[in-house]
């Protein structure tokens, strides 16, 4: 393993983990990190660093800027032009940030006191409209509904789920929402009855004795 001496968060020297000899500076990596090369075995090393969102080599500032632009309504292509990041990098950042946000919501939003919770859905589509989806197409194409449970007075988003307008997707939302609020009786929905049926079933299962 290579060893680095770090001063002011920048490696000033590095020892080759193969030869045990001091390495010389060898320019910078494309992400701005310093590189070192062993003069004996010619192996190159990059200074130690933390990965953005745990998996990405892109700089944290650029990834944060890309996420902020997406949240403000920019398209992925316009975000590419502003940040210089590739569209696959931006898409990966969205997925990783979304997964982390989902874990934070599951851990922190539990038994929240509420007055009035509204559950509703927002329609969109992936690739093509539902009526144009063929049997041989990817079944993820077509209609895509975003189900949201929000506290009407505080505007706190309690739960969110995305998928088809079917029992499986609504059950995943309806079963998680009662666990996140203190009073499940405050939950109401405008149109989708299977949300209420799923929520009622989950609340009954949670309160019934084993």
Residues 121 and 102 grouped into a single domain: no
Produce one character per residue of 161-179: b if its CB has 16 or more CB atoms within 10 Å, e if not: bbbeeeeebbbbbbbbbbb
Residues 177 and 199 grouped into a single domain: yes
pLDDT at 208 over 50: no
Tell whether pTM > 0.75: no
Burial of 54 (0-12, 13-18, 19+ CB in 10 A): exposed
Share of the chain above pLDDT 90, in %: 24
Residues 189 and 159 grouped into a single domain: yes
Q: Which residues pair with 24 in a beta bridge?
A: 37
Residues 188 and 126 grouped into a single domain: yes
pLDDT at 129 over 60: yes
Burial of 156 (0-12, 13-18, 19+ CB in 10 A): middle
- 55: in domain: no
Please answer whether residues 128 and 140 qualify as being in contact, where contact means their C-beta atoms are separated by less than 8 angstroms: no
Give 130 or 26, the one with higher predicted confidence: 130
The pLDDT value given to residue 96: 93
Mean pLDDT taken over the chain? 77
C-alpha angle with apex 206: 201 to 209, nearest 5 degrees?
Answer: 115
- 53: in domain: no
Residues 163 and 83 grouped into a single domain: no
Residue 8 tokens, joined: 């002011």
pLDDT in tens, 61-117: 899 999 999 999 999 999 999 999 999 999 999 999 999 988 888 888 888 888 888
pLDDT at 30 over 80: no
Residues 129 and 98 grouped into a single domain: no
- 194: in domain: yes
The pLDDT value given to residue 152: 83
Burial of 84 (0-12, 13-18, 19+ CB in 10 A): exposed
CATH assignment at residue 178: 3.30.420
Residues 203 and 122 grouped into a single domain: yes
**Which of 98-107's residues contact partners 24+ apart within 8 Å by CB, and which partners?**
100/53, 105/157, 105/159, 106/176
Residues 189 and 142 grouped into a single domain: yes
Number of domains in the chain: 3
State how far the Cα of 35 lies from the Cα of 16, in Å rounded to an integer: 12
Residues 161 and 184 grouped into a single domain: yes
Q: Which domain holds residue 82?
A: 60-107
- 93: in domain: yes
Q: Point out the least confidently predicted range of 20-29, 61-70, 138-147.
A: 20-29
């Amino acid at each position: 393993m290579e060893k680095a001496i770090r001063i002011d968060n920048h490696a000033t020297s590095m020892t080759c983990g193969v030869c045990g000899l001091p390495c010389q500076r060898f320019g910078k990596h494309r992400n701005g990190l310093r590189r070192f090369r062993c003069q004996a075995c010619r192996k190159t090393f990059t200074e130690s660093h933390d990965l953005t969102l745990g998996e990405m080599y892109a700089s944290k500032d650029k990834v944060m800027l890309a996420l902020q632009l997406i949240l403000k309504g920019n398209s992925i292509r316009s975000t590419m032009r502003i940040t210089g990041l590739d569209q696959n990098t931006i898409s990966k950042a969205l997925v990783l940030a979304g997964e982390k946000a989902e874990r934070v919501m599951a851990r922190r939003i539990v038994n929240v006191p509420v007055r009035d919770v509204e559950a509703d859905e927002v329609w969109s589509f992936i690739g093509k409209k539902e009526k144009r989806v063929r049997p041989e197409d990817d079944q993820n194409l077509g209609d895509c509904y975003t189900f949201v449970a929000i506290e009407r007075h505080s505007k706190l988003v309690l739960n969110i789920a995305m998928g088809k307008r079917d029992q499986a997707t609504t059950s995943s939302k309806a079963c998680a929402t009662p666990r996140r609020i203190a009073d499940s009786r405050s939950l109401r929905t405008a149109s989708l009855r299977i949300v209420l049926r799923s929520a009622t079933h989950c609340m009954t299962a949670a309160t019934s004795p084993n």
